Structure 1
Amino acid sequence: MRFQTFLLAVLSSALGINAYWLETISHQGVAPFAGTGYKFFRNVKDYGARGDGVTDDTSAINAAINDPGNRCLQGCASTTTTPAILYFPAGTYMISSSIVPSYFTQLVGDPSSRPILKATSNFAGFGLIDGNPYYTSDPNWVTTNVFYRQVRNFVIDTTNIAPGTAATGMHWPTSQATSLQNIEFNMPTASGVVHVGLFIESGSGGFMSDLTFNGGATGASMGNQQYTMRNFTFNNCVTAIIHLWDWGWTYMGLSINNCSTGIDITAGGSSALTTGAVVVIDSSFVNVPVGILTAYTSSSLPDTAGNLVLENVALQNVPVAVKGPSGTVLSGATGSTTITGWSEGNRWTSSGPSRVQGTLQANSRPSALLEGNKYYTRSKPQYETLSADQFVSVRSAGAKGDAAADDTAAIQSAINNAASAGKVVFIDFGLYRLTSTVVIPAGTKIVGEGYPVLMAAGTGFFTDASNPVPLLQVGATSGTVGTVEFSDFVVATQGSQPGAILIEWNLASSGAPSAMWDVHTRVGGFTGSNLQVAQCLKNAGSSEVVSSCVAAYMSMHITTKASNLYMENCWLWTADHDIDDATNTQTTIYAGRGLLDESTAGPLWLIGTASEHHVLYNYQFVNTKNIFAAQLQTETPYYQPTPNALVPFTVNSALHDPDFSTSCSGVSGNCAASWGLRIVDSSDIVVYGAGHYSFFSSYDTTCSTVDAGENCQSRMVSLEGTLSNINFYDLRTIGSLSIVNRDGTSLASWEDYVNVYPASINVLRI
């Protein structure tokens, strides 16, 4: 079969047919802890799939996924040791039962000619792709612990299944560092249709982009903690979107056309709403009788549930924009109109919460963040116009990726050679030890093969917390001019590296922004990190710091003269548990700081990003401006306040560290705890959804319940110094007594903004 695939590639080249580079490039990726002979890259046609529109390819596809045997499926909690890419060349693959991707698996189709996964008429299963099967009454994987996987470039077709027979295109309860991209769902449009394109019932997302839904009863039926969804199109669905529940959700570039109802957020009814908040911006509804169905009223419960924000939403032949239990709440138009701003929920005022359902003055959008009248966005490139010889493999350059060899010189050589030749760096899968800084010159493009890992390692270079140094230095000095593109890899540490700054961003990009898509930092919690249960097992209630678990200085630093950076679906994670432990046992690992942005110019776009479990703060914006954020998500370290944020890192005033030894004076409760978000002396910041969560106090979750008084920590969001044009829409906290502080004084208490589980402010502006 491998020879047949090779022969097909040769014949295609001879005939002038350009196969996707990922199909033809030499695959040298290694999974160093998976065993000898383990295959990382799998072409489904090498396992007998035909893609001819006739043959049932289900067994062949699942065989490709699970080779050898059950990689991590039924009964497996999670893993990083047996990753895989499953590649689908162009064709129509008939599917009679669910394709079930194992943990840490990417399904990738040819983007230039998307493969079609088409259900047979007798299809049986919960989704043509079932991303988390029910072998028991619960999903196989804990839905908040499903990380590091993607599905992209497919057409999913259920039109062979009778319209009145229940069918689901994809079942996808999942969490951070996952994505769906460039997928089309085709369903019947006949009367009585009950098909659903995408179904999500739980998890902690997340990001998706460039999805299209045609037909069906419901395009997407979804419940998850939080999500950012960008460039979704719905055509001829009965209902485009049904929200089962959420804490917060942001839609950007939503296009709903010829559907009976656009978005339904009525789940639970007015007495027990389950949708916490929805934000819709830069979107359109065309020929939709009812744009949004809401159950929100002046007395609906919980107090702030059903929060809704609409901004720059264009309507064409939408008679009712928003409909409540008693009828029209916001009229639309039989012609064309645009909702510049409208909201329902508890807005913040200096005198307390104000329950409002009505017009919202549109914010002053910073021009630097816009493309036309919409916020700038950009989909992850897949380089489909390039041939395989336009990529420089780091393994071909001599890197081993075995988690043992020093790969610094080989990686730097590959990057330098690719940049000078105008080619793309290809990081074959592996775990690469880097013992000194790798400099990324302007013009570099890097794409990973299924989340390879670049690790700060060694016993000297990154170990001095008094002299922090970068692992990846993007641009040699702050203000270096040029652009780069990063996608699909992980930056990490191996062992204790208390002086490691994982990514230092120095580039001042002109023209199109530099960008990172699906690039994540991960400190500990995986095989090869030497920061797992065996080394860093949690010790609940103990203030002792295990020095070997002080693992990183900072996840990412955007320096003063850097500018023009777009980040999409990037997760900066200090591991709270061991992914490769059979029971996901919790760990205590220390990384000092999350994302520090001190660019004096900006702009910075943060689309579906998260930063979790850093000691001092997760996001900090200082002396900066022009920031757009959609669904920032943070978590406070689970071990705090024992020890608290005063240890183990010394305050570095040059990097504007918060000083809890002084700022906590007179503050009751657990004050010295990581800031979810800290904004200092900055302007022109717009946040369309932010969830800042503190679930634990010394690994005990009791403190995060409403009944307990949300007292895991005292404060969560801090606004300090000279500020202007600071805008929050759907600002949520869990476990914090104060939602937001201004110069040390609380502006809002959680008790005044109780939502479905978080506390949530609908609109807050400074």
Structure 2
Amino acid sequence: MRFTSLLLALAGAASSVNAYWLGDIAHQGHAPFAGPNYPVFRNVKDYGARGDGVADDTAAINAAITAGNPCNRGCASSTTTPGLVYFPAGTYKISGSIRPAYFTMLIGDASNPPTLKATSNFEGFGLIDGNPYYTDVLNWKAVNVFFRQVRNFIIDTTAIPANKAATGMHWPTSQATSLQNIVFNMPTSPDVVHVGLFIEEGSGGFMTDLTFNGGATGASMGNQQYTMRNLVFNNCKTAIIQIWDWGWTYMGLSINNCGVGIDMTGGGSQNIATGSVTLIDSTLTNVGVGIKTARTANSRPDTAGALVLENIDLRNVPVAIQDPSGTLLPGTTGALTIPAWASGNTYTPSGPRRVSSAITPNPRPATLLVNGRYYTRSKPQYESEPRSSFLSVRSFGARGDASADDTAALQAAIDGATASNKILFLDYGLYRVTSTIRIPPGARIVGESFPVILSSGAYFNDINNPKPVVQIGSSSGQVGYVELSDFIVSTQNAQAGAVCIEYNLASGGGVPSGMWDVHVRIGGFTGTQQQVGECLKTPGNPTVRNECIVAFMAMHVTKGAYGLLMENVWLWTADHDIDEQANTQITIYSGRGLYIESERGQLWLYGTGSEHHVLYQYQIVNSGNIFMGQIQTETPYYMPIPNALVPFNPIPALNDPDYRVSCAGVAGNCQASWGVRVIDSRNVFVYGAGVYSFFSDYSTTCSTFAAGQTCQERIVSIERSADNVNIYNLNTIGSRSMLNRNGAMVAFYNDNVNVYPSNIAVYKSN
């Protein structure tokens, strides 16, 4: 008996060591506005799922998703009911769609991803349906579906007859959403009509590490903008169908044994639906036609179908690019590298000049590269770490109820985990802090379903004495390295002096620090006291309410900092209330978006966005060696009532724009927030940009071509010394000037009309 007991104990210990930590640790997440017994974490096996490949687990999985009654069918939006639904390793047989609720993550065992396997009689629009059609419209407005993740799955439709319509995943969503580490397995027979991933609407977004095997189409997608990297397509008839877009950035694609790589012909040659595509650092092998475009000399809109390629390897790809008349760019039956090629309007640095030809590739600095390609790194999931490597913030007394002062407990948890070389698990909650939280070098922090660090009180409310809410590194240039993922920094009530994130670390030695799915989310949700009850929009009224001045700056990368990768980071000042009165617009004021003054740079920004800040969304000053993939901005909706002159006075030490000076003598709505501003900087590479201004005093009539794009007069500025500043596929909306250089207009919107924005395929500063 003793020997048997010992064997059982050892077996249990081995099981614990081998289990993925996320399913093995204690979960103490607390959703303070969802009721005392609301389950943040749910293991599908606790709800009856077997994962044995035999039992039908559909009902059990959906029961886990709907536990606690989160925002689901008929609910416009809510972030008071978070969910992390965990799938241990196994094969989960399903006969109908899995439908994640709003603000819900589906996460599988990263060390042994589970399989979702459709039955032969499967019914539904996607094994995972991220936004169902319960009626003839999507359940949630796609452009308002935020803060969702699906990762670590194998999605298998091979049991469904090949000639029956089937979709692996339906995912019409928007910012702060991500797919990671998913394999789509489909039949490979000649009559196959399966699609791996389908997206028809939204405003994304980010995806990485997806593999598509078989099928008629790997991914069929339409959305405003996206950054996608490290996607593999094997034996698909067509790897990617670009249904429509404004701007899309692909990097690190590997397309193998497919008939067509990317099909951009949606809408036909007379009415093109694809705005622009940027493709870099990718390989196509044994592909019949690399890219199909509908673009002709007579196509409309004028610049639609813009395409830019850089560093593309072809191996047995006879036709690189095909247009309606035939081969536009020959490929090879051997091996060939395309250094750079573009179709669209170019400004190098003046224009427009229409090209459909090779262009000079960007001179990439070695400090941004690995083996000739831009450095990338996926979000760490700590697959090999046992549960003993993790410490919970709850164990240090943090409450996360948006009311208690968690400053001391949160700081103790961060310091304790770092000192003991542990990973801090930030259980879900709203952690109210009343002074700066300092993250030291060596810290590793991972959140559960987007917990919030919430600044509050007088310490952060002096507009003349700004203070960081989260300070990464104690001083600018401190040497060190951090890994931060899956949490939010925000503010509560009036916080006129709050700098949400200050980044100070110098991370060298070839291993940059990383921030993955770390968001700044200011206002518009329960617990912030910055909702419709306090800050309801007031069109036509220029009065600024002090209680609605809610942040000084979203994020500051300081002078001595360098070596940082930011992936899927959204710096959002809310334009509407998600929780209290869903989708009702509010007016709140955050002074500045992302301010980069890193003298050394070595920064990579993948799928980042910055929206609705008063003075600017992105500002780069005296910096360089920066990669930016499909950035996205929006001007505050209330402007010009009030305009960008209030409530934040320009501070010369921060290189703030002084609109009183720069707008002197400029007609139109000049005193509106810059989308992107680059000053005295070098080696800045923007691979896709959506820079948008949709509203004037909450009216969208200004953002159409018929209205003359009069929401604001200018939106992108390159100033003073600018060496090797390059932008591929710049898309602007609502601004008469697309780009200014030292105060002078470079590109006029009406010269570059695209599907909804205006587009410049290539801009080079020199």
Please classify the TM superposition score into its range, dividing by the shorter chain length. over 0.9
Aligned pairs for 1:119-138 within 5 A: 119-138=118-137
The answer to whether the 8 A contact 1:537-1:587 is kept is yes
* Aligned CA distance change for structure 1 residues 504 and 401 (closer, same or farther; 3 Å): same
Distance in 1 of aligned mates of 2:30 and 2:622: 43
Give 1:714's aligned amino acid. E
What is the identity, as a one-letter code, of the residue corresponding to 1:471? V
Note if contact 1:598-1:624 (Cα within 8 Å) is conserved in structure 2.
yes
Equivalent residue number for residue 176 of structure 1 = 175
Instruction: Kindly provide the amino acid, as one letter, of the partner of residue 228 in structure 2.
Output: M
Partner of 1:261: 260
CA gap 1:502/1:10 in 2 versus in 1, 3 angstroms: farther
Q: Residue 679 of structure 1 contacts residue 719 of structure 1 at CA under 8 Å; is this kept in 2?
A: yes
Q: Which residue of 2 aligns with 1:340?
A: 339
Partner of 2:504: 506
Q: Within 1, Cα distance between the matches of 2:397 and 2:326?
A: 67
SS in structure 2 at match of 1:410: helix
Distance 1:137 1:588 in 2: 32
TM-score (norm 1): 0.98
Give the distance between the partners of 1:172 and 1:109, measured in 2 at CA.
17
The DSSP-based 3-state class of the residue aligned with 1:285 is strand
Q: Do the aligned residues in 2 keep the contact of 1:77 with 1:582 (CA within 8 Å)?
A: no
* Residue number in structure 1 paired with 2:106: 107
Output one character per residue of 1:621-645: Cα deviation in whole Å (capped at 9) or x when no partner. Answer: 0000101000010000000000000
| 1:503-522: CA deviation from partner (whole Å, max 9, x where unpaired) | 00010111200110000001
Cα displacement (A) at 1:388 = 1.2
Q: Equivalent residues in 2 for 1:326-725 (5 A)?
A: 326-349=325-348, 352-458=351-457, 460-511=458-509, 512-725=511-724
How many Å apart are 1:660 and its aligned residue? Answer: 0.3
Question: Is the Cα contact below 8 Å between 1:173 and 1:200 reproduced in 2?
Answer: yes
Structure 1: how far apart are the matches of 2:377 and 2:116?
27
Cα distance in 2 between the residues matched to 1:264 and 1:93: 33
Displacement, 1:582? 4.0
Mapped partners of 1:15, 1:606: distance in 2: 39
Cα distance in 1 for residues equivalent to 2:453 and 2:8: 34
Matched residues in 1 for 2:642 and 2:335: separation? 58
Distance change (3 Å), C-alpha of 1:16 and 1:188:
same
Structure 1 partner of 2:31: 31
| Structure 1 counterpart of 2:211 | 212
Deviation at 1:702, TM superposition (A): 0.2
CA positional deviation for 1:213 = 0.1
Give the whole-Å Cα distance in 2 for the aligned partners of 1:598 and 1:493. 24
Kindly tell me: are residues 218 and 481 of structure 1, through their superposed partners in 2, closer, same or farther at Cα, counting changes over 3 Å?
same
State the alpha-carbon separation in 2 of the partners of residues 349 and 364 from structure 1. Answer: 14
AA partner of residue 543 (structure 2): E
Equivalent runs, 1:44-123 vs 2, <5 Å: 44-69=44-69, 71-123=70-122
Tell me, yes or no, if the aligned pair for 2:591 and 2:614 is still in contact at 8 Å: yes
3-state SS, counterpart of residue 461 of structure 1 = helix
Q: Secondary structure in 2 aligned to 1:204?
A: coil
Deviation sequence 1:460-485 (CA, Å, 0-9, x none): 10010100010111111101000111
Contact 2:418 2:440 in 1 (8 A): yes
AA paired with 2:505? L
Q: Larger deviation: 384-393 or 192-201?
A: 384-393
SS at match of 1:33: coil
Quote the offset at 1:650 in angstroms: 1.2
Aligned partners of 1:567 and 1:163: how far apart in 2? 40
**Preserved contact between residue 576 and residue 582 of structure 2 (Cα < 8 Å):** no
CA displacement at 1:424 relative to structure 2: 0.8
Code of the aligned partner of 2:712: Q
Alignment partners' CA distance in 2, 1:100 and 1:561: 46
Structure 2 SS opposite 1:13: helix
Instruction: Tell me which residue corresponds to 2:3.
Output: none
- Identical-pair percentage: 64
Deviation at 1:569, TM superposition (A): 0.2
**How many angstroms does 1:11 deviate by?**
4.8
Q: Could you report, residue by residue, the CA deviation over 1:273-311 in whole angstroms, capped at 9, with x for unpaired residues? A: 000000100000000010000011122111100000111
User: How far is 1:581 from its partner?
Assistant: 3.4
* Cα 1:17/1:407, change in 2 over 3 Å: closer
Report the 3-state secondary structure (helix = DSSP H, G, I; strand = E; otherwise coil) of the residue aligned with 1:503.
Answer: strand
Contact 2:430 2:451 in 1 (8 A): yes
Retained in 2: the 8 A contact 1:9–1:24?
A: no
Give me the whole-angstrom Cα distance separating, in 2, the residues matched to 1:595 and 1:671.
21
Offset from partner CA, 1:424-471 (integer Å, 9 cap, x none): 11110000001000111111111001100001112x100101000101
3-state SS in 2 of match to 1:479:
coil
Letter paired with 1:59 = A
Match for 1:488: what amino acid?
A: D
> 2:715 & 2:650 partners in 1: Cα distance?
19
For residues 670 and 8 of structure 2, the distance between their equivalents in structure 1, rounded to whole angstroms, comes to: 64
Q: How far apart are residue 349 of structure 1 and its match? A: 4.5
User: What is the total number of aligned residue pairs between the two structures?
Assistant: 758
1:570-621 alpha-carbon deviations (Å, 9 max, x no partner): 0000000000134410000100000000010011111000000000000000
How many angstroms apart in 1 are the aligned matches of 2:734 and 2:564? Answer: 32
Paired with 1:167 and 1:213, the residues of 2 have a C-alpha distance of 14
CA distance in 2, matches of 1:248, 1:584: 25
Match of 1:158 in 2: 157
Residues of 2 paired with 1:11 and 1:328: CA distance? 62
* Equivalent pair of 1:318/1:332 in contact (CA under 8 Å): yes
Alpha carbons of structure 1 residues 110 and 232: separation in structure 2 relative to 1, 3 Å? same
User: Are the aligned partners of 2:177 and 2:205 in contact in 1 as well (CA < 8 Å)?
Assistant: yes
Deviation at 1:351, TM superposition (A): 5.0
Preserved contact between residue 552 and residue 590 of structure 1 (Cα < 8 Å): yes
Q: Is the 8 A contact 1:610 1:633 kept in 2?
A: yes
Q: CA deviation at 1:137?
A: 1.1
The whole-number CA distance in structure 1 between the counterparts of 2:350 and 2:44 is: 62
Instruction: From the superposition, tell whether residues 56 and 453 of structure 1 become closer, same or farther in structure 2 (CA, over 3 Å).
Output: same
Runs of 4+ in 1 over 2 A off after TM superposition: 7-17, 349-352
Residue in 2 aligned with 1:324? 323
1:387-428, Cα deviation, whole Å (9 max, x unpaired): 111112111111000011000000100111111111111110
CA deviations over 1:524-552 (Å, ceiling 9, x no partner)? 00000100000000001110001100000
SS in 2 for 1:202: coil
CA distance in 2, matches of 1:15, 1:703: 61
- How far did 1:14 drift? 3.7
* TM alignment of 1:249-288, pairs within 5 A: 249-288=248-287
**In 2, Cα distance between the equivalents of 1:492 and 1:707?**
38
Q: Secondary structure at the match of 2:601?
A: coil
Distance 1:43 1:8, change over 3 A: farther
Per-residue displacement from partner, 1:683-740 (whole Å, max 9, x unpaired)? Answer: 0001000010000000000000011011100000000011100101001100000000
Helix, strand or coil: the match of 1:362? coil
Q: Secondary structure at the match of 2:65?
A: helix
Using the size of structure 2 for normalisation, the TM-score is 0.98
1:270, distance to aligned residue in structure 2 (A): 1.2
What whole-Å deviation, never above 9, does each CA across 1:305-350 have from its counterpart, x for those lacking one? 0000111000000000000001000011000011111110111245
Tell me: CA distance 1:713–1:345, structure 2 relative to 1, closer, same or farther (3 Å).
same
C-alpha distance in structure 2 between counterparts of 1:9 and 1:680, whole Å: 64
| Structure 1 residues 476 and 9, CA gap change in structure 2 (3 angstroms) | farther
Contact 1:12 1:19 in 2 (8 A): no
Whole-angstrom distance in 2 between the partners of 1:10 and 1:488? 34
SS in 2 for 1:654: helix
| Structure 1 residue 56 displacement after superposition | 0.2
Residues 216 and 9 (structure 1 numbering): CA distance in 2 closer, same or farther, change over 3 Å? farther
